[in-house]
Amino acid sequence: MTSSSPTWDAIVIGGGHNGLVAAATLAKSGRKVLLLEAGSDLGGAARTEEFAPGFRVSVLAHVLNRLHPDVVRTLELERHGLTIERGDFAPSVALSKDGALVLHGAYGEVLTGAAPSEQSAWKELRAQLLRYAGILKPFLARRPPDLSGMSMAEMAGLGQTALALKKLGKEDMRDFLRVLLMNVADLLDEQLADDRLKGLLAFDATLGSHLGPRSPTSLLGLYYRLAGEAGGAAGAQVIPRGGMGAVAAAIRAAADKAGVSIRPASAVARIIVEKTRAVGVTLAGGEELRARAIVSAINPATTFLDLVGPSEVDTGFVRKVRNIRMKGDAAKLHLALDRPPQFTGVDAVDHKGRLVIAPSPDHVERAFNPSKYGEFSPEPVMEITLPSLTDASLAPSGACVLSAVVQYAPYALKQGWTAGKPQFLAAIMAQLETHAPGIGSTVRHAELLTPADIEARYRVPGGHWHHGELQADQMLMSRPVAGWAGYDTPIEGLFLAGAGSHPGGGVSGAPGLNAARRIIAMKV
Amino acid sequence: MIPQSAEAAPQGNSRAAAQSHFRTLRPGTPFQPRIDALALKNDWYDWAGYRAPHSLWDEELEYFAIRSQAALFDISPMTKYRIEGPDAEAYLDRVTLRDVTRLKPGRVHYTAWCDDEGFVLDDGTLFRLSPTRFRLCSQERHLPWLLDSAFRFDVTVEEETEAIAGLALQGPTSSAILRDAGFAGVERLKVFDLAAFDHDGASVVISRTGFTGDLGYELFVPAGKALGLWDRLMVAGAPRGIRAIGYTALNRARLEAGLIVANADFTTSEHAIRADRTRMPDEIGLGFMVDPEKGNFNGRRAILEARAGRKLRHVLVGLEIEGNIPAEHAIVYHKKSQEVGLVSAAMWSPMAKRNIAIASLARPYGDTIVDDLWVEIYAMRELQYQKLMKRAKVVPRPFIKLDRRTASPPADF
């Protein structure tokens, strides 16, 4: 195994969903692929794990809304057990003391709980948002344009986007450019009146980033969300049966079928660079493995600063990598409940959806403010799912799993998370109690993962699930760093394939697929 | 000195003293009292923020002091970094172009360093004072770059420009003067050797280096011991014609030696405002420093890519120009019509007895096409330009080669 001729065509580091997608795609191209995962389980942040006896939950990502159709097609995931029907689409419910407001179908094809005037305003805004997100969609899927030398295919892709822009018509194109970098709150104020609806959209735009709704460019987050799709419908979302782990399992099945060799519990300690070329990896146990291509589907900073080491890359590049902002601001809550909770004013069927506590843009903004100064939100905003209502096997009979993404929880909490965590949990429970009275008394077990926990448990530096803030300056040609957004790296033979690369995080598989396609195109 | 902030400063004398910092626009070096006393011409320029003399009493005679006697030149404003630690060698090997593992303790080499794009940030000299301690001297300041480069290296990088004073003693009698000043054994130093000597209870590092193409030495001493060292050399050197000189004289000597000056003969990458002004090592005659075999160093990838893709756009050449009118900043033409480059330094060389210049040309001119080159000299003659089209020949640098520069031991002039 330690001979100097490469044993493998490609070694993929990291068995998260992007690593699996990259490995499976490379193996399907006829390459001999080895995938190394540090943990004992595959799936990374897209795992389903037991957090209390009999209770299982999606560990980080819990809503599937952007798995790329090319990934589904390329890996034939439907044959490997992943199916998404229109009937699976989960509604989004804006919780409020003034009664719930519900977006049905694919991101509010139908809106209930709002005044007729608001319904027609929403219809227009939704169409506009989807139209504009549609322009960005190809950008947020393909390899970003290479400014230093564009291939014909890339030119053609850009040309198509230009054409799509032109098809918008003059007024619409102007408006697209006008709003592109706006903050979401201002745009919502222009077009909507209902605080509940605005609150929900403000939450969705800022979910997973260190932005409030009034932060410049916060609208981009909403476009990012709406550039995703499920079951062929833009903006649609599902709560996957079996949890997100089932999605990872389908991708893994595709990887197995394609002949990928998978080794869990094999942490990579070093990427071996010889004569400025990546030629293999050294495992934590000392074993050396060699390949023609090394594909890192883990964090870009970890890849270059820890596994490669700064001396093998240039100072300017190290500067850029060290400056990637990746301090998470979201926590994950798992509750094992004696019985399903009853959220006030929410229909039984809508409890299967995504329940959002973000009563107004102001509320979201106020929740964000303290995080700028290293404090958690005293009245946090959150998105809640009750996955055991969709898949009863996730909880013991009659009991219920609650999974919530909660903001804002700054990675570098000033008082430290040891002291802060119980206080933050109390603040979250107080919010839940307001909207689901009595829920507190049904809690059998609570697990709160702060960004610090997420960092330690899932090898995500800063606990940021996008592996780098997803803001305008860290997107497209600047992701993970300017000049190296195309999955290849300054080190020959080393490629990036994780969420830290374009287009970013979320269970999309796009970085993994794009990286594999790049390697295949480069004939590595 | 930087004024302290209101919160941090103790009220009182130190703050009041700092308030007038702006009145001294160009501070002096540790040798300033001696230089001021000799600066009959009061002809100053700004060298990296310091007040430095163009010329002290006579440009011509100062130049000839370098070539016929010994010239003392204050190099204190040169930017100096102290780089120390177990990883210092590996660190410098990554930062600079040449192979630092081949630079032995007690030796100096001329090197350069580049950014990620392979564009030259600066050139300078690297002194290896011990296996783990170096001094890097350069034209421009680079502390942020050097500190960022040190990430994950066990090394400390400190600027010591103010703390260390420097002198260049250049010319045929320089070795004898040092010996007479009591630096016993200095004659054993070969070119690019360095050694530490005692001076007034401190240590002075003397290296057989310089910027003149002549026999010469450079001396580095703690700033507090600077004046004593100056006096020691001046006293010992008096019988052998030691003279203090300014930059104009040195600049002539360096041109004869074919040496380039950052931000005079090429624009350093961090100073270039226009995108096409940056230069790779191969474009300014420093390609010989690039060592592709030594492992990664800053700019390696870009430089090798440019070499492979024939993307090198410029070349720096030595020119010999007919006539005797210096072609300073003249445009270089091919076939008298096509503009192909610019002269960055030029002079009539008293030593070479030739009209010499350094020029940057756009390839392939100066590279594969070297014939039919011309320079257009604008000679001002009583408020009228006389435009001279003079033939230029690409010639190797240095323009002069003096055996005494390398003779070991040096002759006792």
Mean per-residue pLDDT pooled into runs of 10, chain A (524 residues): 72 98 98 97 96 97 96 96 93 94 97 97 97 90 79 77 81 92 97 98 97 97 96 96 97 98 98 96 97 98 97 97 97 98 96 97 98 98 98 97 98 98 98 98 98 95 95 94 95 97 96 97 92
Same domain for B72 and B34: yes
Residue B291 resides in a domain: yes
Q: How many CB pairs under 8 A join A and B?
A: 46
Residue B89 resides in a domain: yes
Q: How would you write A222-262 as a 3-class SS string?
A: HHHHHCCEECCEECCCECCCCCHHHHHHHHHHHHHHHCCEE
Residue B410 resides in a domain: no
Q: Give the model's confidence band at B237: pLDDT under 50 very low, under 70 low, under 90 confident, else very high.
A: very high
Please name the amino acid found at residue A516: A
Same domain for B389 and B286: yes
Please name the amino acid found at residue A445: H
The residues near B314 (Cβ < 8 Å, ≥ 6 apart) are B279, B283, B284, B341, B360, B361, B362, B363
Residue A99 CA to residue A302 CA, distance in Å, equals 46
User: For chain A, which domains are there?
Assistant: 8-46+243-324+467-521 (3.50.50.60)
pLDDT, position A139: 85
Which residues of B lie closer than 8 Å to A, measured between beta carbons? 90, 94-95, 115-117, 145, 148-149, 151-153, 295-296, 298-301
pLDDT, position A69: 96
Same domain for B109 and B56: no
Chain B residues close to A318, C-beta within 8 Å: 148-149, 151
pLDDT, position B5: 43
Beta carbons of B153 and A490 less than 8 Å apart: no
Give the domain-ending residue among B130, B159, B188: B159
Same domain for B83 and B41: no
Q: Give the model's confidence band at B70: pLDDT under 50 very low, under 70 low, under 90 confident, else very high.
A: very high
Half-sphere exposure of A517 (CA within 13 A, CB side): 16
Q: How would you write B285-306 as a 3-class SS string?
A: CCHHHCCHHHCCCCCHHHHHHH
Chain B residue nearest residue A305, CA to CA: B152
Give the domain-ending residue among B122, B137, B159: B159
pLDDT, position A167: 81
In the block, which residue shows the tokens 């287009």?
A: A503
Compute the average pLDDT of residues B82-97.
98
- Residue spans of alpha helices (H) in A108-218: 116-136, 152-167, 170-179, 184-191, 195-206
Q: Give the model's confidence band at B9: pLDDT under 50 very low, under 70 low, under 90 confident, else very high.
A: very low
pLDDT, position B7: 44
Residue B35: both structure tokens together? 């230089």
pLDDT, position B160: 97
Residue A402 CA to residue B299 CA, distance in Å, equals 52
Same domain for B182 and B68: yes
Range of the domain at B335: 275-395
Q: Give the model's confidence band at B3: pLDDT under 50 very low, under 70 low, under 90 confident, else very high.
A: very low
Mutate to test the interface with B, among A270, A272, A315 (most CBs of B within 10 A): A315
pLDDT, position B20: 80
Residue B344: both structure tokens together? 């960055």
Residue A64 CA to residue B402 CA, distance in Å, equals 77
Residue A319: both structure tokens together? 């500067």
Q: Give the model's confidence band at B4: pLDDT under 50 very low, under 70 low, under 90 confident, else very high.
A: very low
Residue B53 resides in a domain: yes
| Residue B193 main-chain phi, psi, to 5 deg | -85, 155
Same domain for B167 and B60: yes
Task: Tally DSSP H helices, then E strands, for chain B.
Answer: 10, 19
Q: What total number of domains does chain B contain?
A: 3
Computed on alpha carbons and rounded to an integer, the radius of gyration of chain A in Å comes to: 22
Beta carbons of B295 and A315 less than 8 Å apart: no
Residue B65: both structure tokens together? 């002091």
Q: Which H or E run includes B21?
A: none
Same domain for B372 and B285: yes
CATH number at residue B141: 3.30.70.1400
CATH number at residue B237: 3.30.1360.120
Phi-psi sector, B296: left (phi>0), alpha (psi -120 to 50), beta: beta
Q: Which H or E run includes B358?
A: strand B354-362
In the block, which residue shows the tokens 């007895």?
A: B353
Residue A62 CA to residue A354 CA, distance in Å, equals 10
Chain B residues close to A310, C-beta within 8 Å: 151-153
Nearest to B148 among A311, A313, A318 (CB): A318
Nearest to B299 among A314, A318, A322 (CB): A314
Compute the average pLDDT of residues B213-223.
98
Residue B116: both structure tokens together? 């990620």
Chain B residues close to A309, C-beta within 8 Å: 152
Q: Which H or E run includes B122?
A: strand B120-130
pLDDT, position B2: 44
pLDDT, position B11: 54
Which residues are paired to B389 by β-bridges? B376
Same domain for B201 and B133: no
| Residue B288 main-chain phi, psi, to 5 deg | -60, -20
Same domain for B375 and B233: no
Positive or negative, the CA dihedral A447, A82, A133, A517 is positive
Residue B42 resides in a domain: yes
Residue A252 CA to residue B323 CA, distance in Å, equals 79
Mutate to test the interface with A, among B113, B114, B116 (most CBs of A within 10 A): B116
Same domain for B203 and B115: no
Residue B406 CB neighbour total at 10 angstroms: 13
| Residue A58 main-chain phi, psi, to 5 deg | -70, 120
Compute the average pLDDT of residues B264-271.
97
**pLDDT for residue B1 is more than 50:** no
Same domain for B279 and B369: yes
Same domain for B199 and B72: yes
